[in-house]
Structure 1
Amino acid sequence: MRIWGVLIPPGYLRWAAAGTGVVVLGTLIAVLVSAVGLFGESQEDVGTPTLATVVAGVSCDRVGAPETVAFTAAGKVHRAKFDGCGHAKGEPVDVTVPDGPLTEDLIVHAADAAVGDSRDGEGLGLLLIVVSGMAGAGYAFLLRRGPRTTRLPTALRLA
């Protein structure tokens, strides 16, 4: 076949078509994975950020001992355990209050604490899906082709 006046062997066209197909298929799979939400796109609501005041502080050398904070929600002052340490009594802290009924054994977390759900690596993950599909397809073509019948030149042989 001639393309722009250049004779292209049919084997090269098959490689180009197969490579294009793998890229398109990998892209479609990446879009499907992203649309379904398999990359941890959590719809879970972690709560409402609220300003609280430390009622009882705890030093950081006491492992697992929570501080006590007071905050206002729905017009009422509530007390809760705060999973932080090293704050002084009366110090304001930003906490995340979970949505729903506020119970007596409520535990609040720092508002700027990481919840473990991040979209930072999602694009890279989708790109790696496409690249791994291309690598797998290329390896399958190499296995299907089989070993070459000609030997390497003497200068390139290891043994």
Structure 2
Amino acid sequence: MGRRRAAASVGLILPTLMVMGVVLVAASWWPLPGVYGREAGTLRSVSATVVESAPCGSSTAGDLLEMTVDGEKVRARYDGCGHSRGRQLRVRIPADPAGKFTALPAGSGEGNSGADLRTRLSWVLVTLAGVAGGGYSLMLRRWIFDRPSA
């Protein structure tokens, strides 16, 4: 009788783990912008010069950058701090930089979806391994403690 109950619990745990794995992988791919060309071109890369350096610490707005965009000098805050004045940086800005915006480091944001995808998949695999390990320990616990004594 104990073996039937153990087989029934395994029959419920394994499909549950498989469904959870599929859901986790689907969730990791779903909200990622920039994969397969979606929303491509929303950011463009330009060269900028640090005009005002902001100290790194709590509640700093970031360094002030100056860049030439479509023949016009534009100033924007940088998503970073502590760069020396006059330093040249490669940054990503909106394709249409109208209004106030924040410049991003060149290797970040939607333009770097490959690294974002690798990071997400790594977290999904770690989570899936934890769930599978938990399910396996439940199966072992039941197998060990539900065995009839000889």
TM-score, scaled to structure 2:
0.58
Cα deviation digits, residues 126-154 of structure 1 (max 9, x gap): 222223234445667789x59x789xxxx
Cα distance, 1:80 vs structure 2: 0.6
> Which has the greater radius of gyration?
1
Please name the residue that 1:50 is paired with. Answer: 46
CA distance in 2, matches of 1:92, 1:41: 36
Q: CA deviation at 1:125?
A: 0.9
Aligned partner of 1:132 in structure 2 is 134
Aligned length: 135
Q: Against the structure 1 CA distance between its residues 78 and 127, is the aligned structure 2 distance closer, same or farther, given a 3 Å change threshold?
A: same
Q: How does 1:1-159 map to 2 (within 5 A)?
A: 12=3, 15=6, 18-19=9-10, 22-35=13-26, 37=27, 39=28, 42-44=31-33, 47-60=43-56, 64=60, 66-74=62-70, 76-103=72-99, 105-112=100-107, 118-119=119-120, 120-136=122-138
Q: Distance in 2 between matches of 1:62 and 1:34?
A: 36
CA pair 128-114 structure 1, distance change in 2 beyond 3 A: farther
Instruction: State the structure with bigger RCO (CA 8 A, min sep 6), 1 or 2.
Output: 2
Closer/same/farther in 2, CA of residues 23 and 102 from structure 1, 3 Å limit: same
Q: Which has the higher helix share?
A: 2
Give the Cα separation in 2 of the matches to 1:62 and 1:124: 32
Deviation at 1:27, TM superposition (A): 1.8
What do residues 54-112 of structure 1 show as CA deviations (whole Å, max 9, x unaligned)?
12334547962532212244454421112433323321112232455431x32223334
In 1: Cα distance, 2:11 partner to 2:71 partner: 61
Identity of aligned residues (%): 22
CA distance in structure 1 between the aligned counterparts of 2:144 and 2:95, rounded to whole angstroms: 56
Root mean square deviation, CA, Å: 4.2
> What is the one-letter code of the residue matched to 2:87?
E
Which TM-score applies when normalising by structure 1?
Answer: 0.56
8 Å Cα contact 1:82/1:109 also seen in 2: yes
